Amino acid sequence: MLISMKPNATTEEIEKICEKIRELGFTPHVIPGAQRVAIGITGNPGPIDPQHFAHFTGIAEMIPVSKPYKLVSREVKPEDTVIHFENASIGGEEIAIIAGPCAVESREQILETACAVKEAGAKFLRGGAFKPRTSPYSFQGLKEEGLKLLAEAREKTGLYIVTEAKDVQTLPMVEEYADIIQIGARNMQNFSLLEAAGKASKPVLLKRGMWATITELFMAAEYILSQGNYKVILCERGIRTFETLTRNTLDLGAVTVIKQLSHLPVIVDPSHGIGIAASVPPLAKAAISAGADGVMIEVHPQPSKALSDGPQSIGFQSFFTLMKELKKIARVVNRKIT
């Protein structure tokens, strides 16, 4: 259920309704909008009797939410969510460029990459310190040492840090160093991790599971929002299909559907989506054309020497060329890369 307030409703009127919702044992979510404030209600097992709110002032209308995902849906919040950073934003006019290696491997590697992607125009640096790997014998990441190196790279370049939290235990440590906490595809339905991220103070980048439907992605995001963290960025990163020549099948159609059904920003990761470095630039361009709010690209100083995901990582030169092209495409779709 959504309570849509009158445009001139006072803070006091809003707070009184929130109090009533809590008294009923449910959770109120105040959602500011351009025209009016709305109050989403979660935690109710079934429909709520509107009579509970009959004598409250300031209410314009009470709207039942038809979708299973509530806070994530455009029904509840028609305007796009924009996540603001001091010097960047995700979900507004600006296209977010997140670039960097799959994993932080060394001080030299991450600093060199940070400087290169910054020069090319990226505002966010990615790099895993805790790596979820298919094999326990593969490089697992530098862990806290990797996080420290990312913080050093931020210090040096001003780039914001996007890095993965692999489990509930290490989430607080990741939260301390990261500007955006990434939840990986394999963890999309790790409900304890989603709930913990919902209590975190930093925005969350939630990747679509390689087996997950769009509705399941929305429901996973709902776990985070329902805990009070409304700063969620969805990420399409390819799904498993019968195709074997590509690592995954990048579902750009999903971007257009997500945009229709949800107010949350959506970015695309063509690197994991295709798994082939040469195919990454054309897919990144297609993603922006399809309406994505940003792209996340794996960039490595020497892709052939990368400790993880080398075959899908592009070098600095390709990234520079790609950025020039993305800037042109952004203009065509009325967006910008600054």
For residue 105, state whether it binds Mn ion (rule: CB under 5 A): no
Tokens 């990226």 — which residue? 122
Assess 209 for contact with ligand PEP (CB under 6 A). Answer: no
Least distance in angstroms from the C-beta of 305 to ligand PEP = 17
Helix (H) or strand (E) holding 63: strand 59-63
- Structure token pair of residue 176: 């301390």
Which of 225, 223, 283 is CA-nearest to residue 255? 283
277 near Mn ion (CB under 5 A): no
Tell whether residue 259 is a contact of ligand PEP (CB under 6 A): no
Minimum CB distance to ligand PEP smaller for 263 or for 272? 272
Residue nearest to ligand PEP (CB): 184
Query: Which residues in 131-150 contact ligand PEP (CB under 6 A)?
Result: 132
Among residues 185, 214, 274, 284, the one that binds ligand PEP under rule CB under 6 A: 185
Asked if 211 contacts 235 with a C-beta cutoff of 8 angstroms, the reply is no
User: In angstroms, rounded to a whole number, what is the distance separating the alpha carbons of residues 281 and 195?
Assistant: 34
| Minimum distance, C-beta of residue 248 to ligand PEP, in the bound complex (Å) | 9
Q: Which is nearer to Mn ion, 291 or 311 (CB)?
A: 311
Query: Among 70, 123, 231, 272, which residue sits at the site for ligand PEP (rule: CB under 6 A)?
Result: 272
CA torsion sign for 283, 133, 178, 121 is: negative
Judged by beta carbon, residue 58 or residue 273, the one nearer ligand PEP is 273
Nearest distance, CB of residue 126 and Mn ion, angstroms: 9
Residue 40, phi then psi, degrees to nearest 5: -85, 145
Residue 38 C-alpha from the chain's centroid: 23
Q: 291 — phi, psi (to 5°)?
A: 105, 10
Please identify, using beta-carbon distances, which residue of 37 and 299 lies nearer to ligand PEP: 299
Q: Write the DSSP string, 264-299.
A: S-EEE-HHHHH--GGGHHHHHHHHHHTT-SEEEEEB
| Nearer of residues 104 and 219 to Mn ion, judged by Cβ | 104
Q: Under the criterion CB under 6 A, does residue 102 sit at the interface with ligand PEP?
A: yes
Q: Which does 185 bind (CB under 5 to 8 A by kind): ligand PEP, Mn ion, none?
A: ligand PEP
Asked whether position 309 contacts Mn ion by CB under 5 A, the answer is yes
Q: Based on CB atoms, which residue is closest to Mn ion, 102 or 326?
A: 102
Burial zone of 139 (CB within 10 Å; 0-12 exposed, 13-18 middle, 19+ buried): middle
Closer CB to ligand PEP, 28 or 127, in the complex: 127
Candidates 5-13, 82-90, 183-191, 239-247 — which segment interacts with ligand PEP by CB under 6 A? 183-191
DSSP string, 30-44: EE--SS--EEEEES-
Tell me how many degrees the CA angle 115-118-120 measures, rounded to the nearest 5.
110
DSSP H or E segment with residue 28:
strand 27-31
Residue (of 72, 109, 39) closest to 266 by Cα position? 72
How far apart are alpha carbons 29 and 8 in whole angstroms? Answer: 18
**Cβ proximity of 257 and 69 under 8 Å:** no
Count interface residues toward Mn ion (CB under 5 A): 2
Interface pick for ligand PEP out of 58, 128, 198, 303 (rule CB under 6 A): 128
Residue 102, interface with Mn ion (CB under 5 A)?
A: yes
Q: Which region among 51-59, 181-189, 258-266, 311-319 touches ligand PEP (by CB under 6 A)?
A: 181-189
Residue span binding Mn ion (CB under 5 A) among the ranges 101-109, 159-167, 183-191, 213-221: 101-109
CA-CA distance, 227 to 29, in Å (whole number)? 10
The yes or no reply on residue 247 touching ligand PEP (CB under 6 A) is no
5 binds Mn ion (CB under 5 A): no
**Binding site residues, ligand PEP, CB under 6 A:** 102, 128, 132, 184-186, 207, 237, 272
**Binding site residues, Mn ion, CB under 5 A:** 102, 309
